[in-house]
Amino acid sequence: MTYMILILGFAMLIKGADYFVEGSSNIAKMLKLSPILIGLTLVAFGTSSPEAAVSIRAAMKGSNGIALGNAIGSNLFNISVVVGITAIVNPLRVERETIRKEIPFTLLSTFLLLILIMDIKLQLFHKNQLTRADGLVLLSFFTIFIYYLFELAKNSREKKEEEDVVNISTGKNLLFTIGGLVGIIIGGELVVRSSTQIATDFGISETLIGLTIAAIGTSLPEMITCITAAAKKHSDIAVGNIVGSNIFNILFVLGTSACVTPIQVEEKLFVDVLFMMGYTTILLIFSKTQHKITRAEGILLFLSYVLYIVYSIGLRS
């Protein structure tokens, strides 16, 4: 029964995110926003809403491992598997501004997270944790990112022909957006409840569940969105979606979760944060080569995730 609840939760998260992205993206298109901006904002935040629902709900229930592991695991999965498979489907073109600003900001956000959780080494505390003050710091950086996006929006509004405007009512878009959000919230509760139960039944750490099962499940919307975008040759939306999602996961999801309740960090999780920093650096390097991510690079990213999972399970077994 627990597995059925988990599958139902994932289904609600994925379908809810699908409706949320469709409704909010259509509204953005009506407002004549550029594809890269849509990818960085509404699509990215919409596809990351399952991570937000799961991590914040887990923090409220005191499941620190799932709250932190889900956000970090999702970012690892996004860069390795989602970018990898998407590049295999169709080589990903990366915008110059994404290379110069958004990916480095993702790297900065990861480094900031690493510094904030190093309480024992940097502040000589008796334990590492993401405190409410740390959460406010992360949310402050998220505010800076939002300000940057507003500036980007002002400078990148595109003049579209009348036929390019989505022919669907604003009311229906709002209904899709709100209905999708409700599905995301309920699905998040089901995933947290069932994942915690599975971890308890098998004696597996909540962190490992968060890094693997929960992370992969909540990252499915990003994968579906990116593969679809790449197949339609909208790689600017695909890359923007991943970069925006990862920034959202670190700054907003973990920031909000820590503000809800301090999150204790297990020592082994530092390895995963370093992996996340390494993957982001690799993404930056790959993006700089001809301003695209090739099929060969995509295969390398995908295979590296398999090795990471084997290592992560061995580390915590």
Look at residues 269, 256, 261 and name the one whose alpha carbon lies nearest to residue 61.
Answer: 261
Map residue 93 onto helix, strand or coil.
strand
Whole-number percent of the chain with pLDDT over 90: 29
Q: Which of 18-27, 121-130, 186-195, 256-265 has the highest mean pLDDT?
A: 256-265
Task: Check residues 299 and 180 and name the one with the higher pLDDT.
Answer: 299
Per residue in 256-307, pLDDT (tens digit) is: 999 988 998 888 889 999 999 999 999 999 998 888 899 999 999 999 999 9
Question: What's the CA dihedral at 46, 50, 55, 60 to 10 degrees?
Answer: 100
Q: Does domain 2-316 have CATH number 3.40.50.2000?
A: no
Per residue in 159-179, pLDDT (tens digit) is: 444 444 445 567 787 788 778
pLDDT value of position 162: 43
pLDDT value of position 166: 46
Per residue in 21-76, pLDDT (tens digit) is: 677 667 666 766 665 566 566 666 766 777 888 888 888 888 878 888 889 999 99
pLDDT value of position 77: 93
Q: How far is CA 213 from CA 6, 219, 267, 295, in A?
A: 10, 10, 20, 26
Q: Which residues face 130 on adjacent strands?
A: 263
pLDDT value of position 38: 62
Confidence band of 158 (pLDDT split at 50, 70, 90): very low
Cβ of 38: how many Cβ atoms within 10 Å?
Answer: 25
Dist. CA 63–CA 113, nearest whole Å:
19
Average pLDDT over residues 139-155: 82
| Mean pLDDT (the chain, rounded) | 81
- What does the domain layout of the chain look like in residue ranges? 2-316
Average pLDDT over residues 72-98: 89
Dist. CA 156–CA 86, nearest whole Å:
25
pLDDT value of position 246: 92
Burial class (CB in 10 A: 0-12, 13-18, 19+), 293: buried
Distance from CA of residue 281 to its chain's centroid? 17
